[in-house]
């Protein structure tokens, strides 16, 4: 394909073990690359991908799609304004129904050689990126990884043992000293996707949530509370951040407008010759936490990221 087609952009949306060789081949062919998350199987591969992209002067992006949700963008503005004051602690819950059935068929996502990790990398990487985008690097991690459904069936009827986590629990420390409690699961009976991040500081608190069982899933929700107030209040998201999200609701694919904005970000970065965000550098930072979590779960101790 790279030899025969006059491509500008290559999107690598394959099983995780193919991210590294495909991305490197595309970069060597002079293409701009969007590579799915997690960026690689380990931080060494991820760093090589970033270094090659920079050396080839190619644009690069990791589709951490939650970043383009209007509520997530507005939370970023709240935090930047100093609304929280000194950050005390954060609680993350990301629950996912997998592919519609907790006992669904075996997929590459549950194979260690192809996926690297399960819930940790598949959905946990999204929430980890939001934390790093909002607050900075996660410095230390302690992880407990579990597999609730230990056997699944390949589509051809062949049985297989699940080799990765289908739920993950993490404790972490953010740069600056705030603590994080983090829970991710691909075997939760929820409406396809449920993400909630609670943030508590000296001057205020914020709750970011997105539940695909609600009509405002394409926007997300924010609740905020300041010192001396009695209850959190729902915060309206300004129209400048919603735009086309209000014109094209899609309750089956709430991320449709997010994907449109993400695509526009990448194309604009190429046309304007500027870095695209989130980039492979952001993917590397998430990969550091994933690697540390896998090591922590194996060695049963705190690990620096």
- Is the dihedral angle over the CA atoms 103, 63, 175, 135 positive or is it negative? negative
CA–centroid distance for 170 within its chain: 15
> Which superfamily is assigned to 66-254 in CATH?
Dihydrodipicolinate Reductase; domain 2 (3.30.360.10)
Q: Which residues make beta-bridge pairs with 114? A: none
Query: Bigger pLDDT: 213 or 164?
Result: 164
The average confidence (pLDDT) of the chain is 95
Q: Which residues make beta-bridge pairs with 221? A: 209
Stretch 119-131: mean pLDDT, rounded?
98
Please, which pLDDT band fits residue 172 given cuts at 50, 70 and 90?
very high
pLDDT at 244 over 80: no
The domain limits of the chain are 66-254
pLDDT at 251 over 60: no
pLDDT at 256: 85
pLDDT in tens, 99-115: 889 999 999 999 999 99
Quote the pTM value: 0.96
* Residues above pLDDT 90, as percent of the chain: 91
pLDDT in tens, 2-48: 999 999 999 999 999 999 999 999 999 999 999 999 999 999 999 99
Please, which pLDDT band fits residue 49 given cuts at 50, 70 and 90?
very high
Helices (H), the chain: 19-28, 43-55, 70-80, 112-115, 119-122, 124-135, 239-242, 256-272, 280-299
pLDDT at 269 over 70: yes
Please, which pLDDT band fits residue 255 given cuts at 50, 70 and 90?
confident
Q: Which two tokens stand for residue 234?
A: 């729902």
* Residues in Cβ contact with 271 at an 8 Å cutoff, skipping those fewer than 6 apart: none
pLDDT at 249 over 60: no
pLDDT at 174: 96
pLDDT at 215: 87
């Amino acid at each position: 394909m790279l030899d025969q087609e006059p491509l500008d952009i290559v999107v690598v949306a394959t099983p995780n073990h193919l991210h590294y060789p495909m991305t490197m081949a595309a970069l060597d062919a002079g293409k701009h690359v969007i590579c799915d998350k997690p960026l690689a199987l380990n931080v060494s591969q991820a760093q090589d991908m970033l270094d090659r992209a920079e050396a080839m002067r190619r644009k690069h992006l990791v589709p951490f799609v939650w970043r383009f949700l209007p509520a997530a963008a507005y939370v970023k503005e709240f935090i930047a304004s100093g609304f929280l004051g000194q950050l005390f602690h954060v609680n993350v819950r990301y629950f996912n129904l997998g592919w519609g059935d907790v006992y669904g068929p075996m997929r590459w996502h549950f194979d260690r050689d192809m996926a690297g990790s399960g819930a940790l990398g598949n959905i946990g990487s999204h929430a980890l990126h939001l934390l790093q985008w909002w607050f900075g690097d996660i410095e230390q991690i302690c992880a407990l990884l579990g597999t609730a459904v230990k056997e699944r069936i390949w589509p051809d009827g062949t049985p297989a043992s699940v080799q990765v986590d289908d739920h993950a629990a993490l404790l972490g420390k953010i740069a600056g000293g705030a603590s994080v409690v983090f829970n991710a699961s691909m075997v939760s009976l929820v409406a396809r996707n449920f993400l909630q991040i609670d943030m508590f500081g000296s001057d205020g608190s914020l709750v970011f949530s997105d539940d695909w069982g609600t009509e405002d899933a394409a926007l997300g929700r924010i609740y905020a509370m300041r010192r001396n107030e009695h209850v959190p209040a729902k915060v309206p998201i300004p129209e400048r951040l919603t735009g086309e999200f209000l014109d094209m609701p899609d309750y089956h694919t709430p991320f449709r407008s997010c994907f449109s904005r993400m695509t526009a970000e990448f194309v604009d970065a190429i046309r304007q010759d500027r870095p695209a965000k989130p980039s492979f550098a952001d993917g590397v930072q998430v990969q550091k936490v994933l690697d540390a979590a896998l090591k922590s779960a194996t060695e049963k101790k705190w690990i620096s990221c």
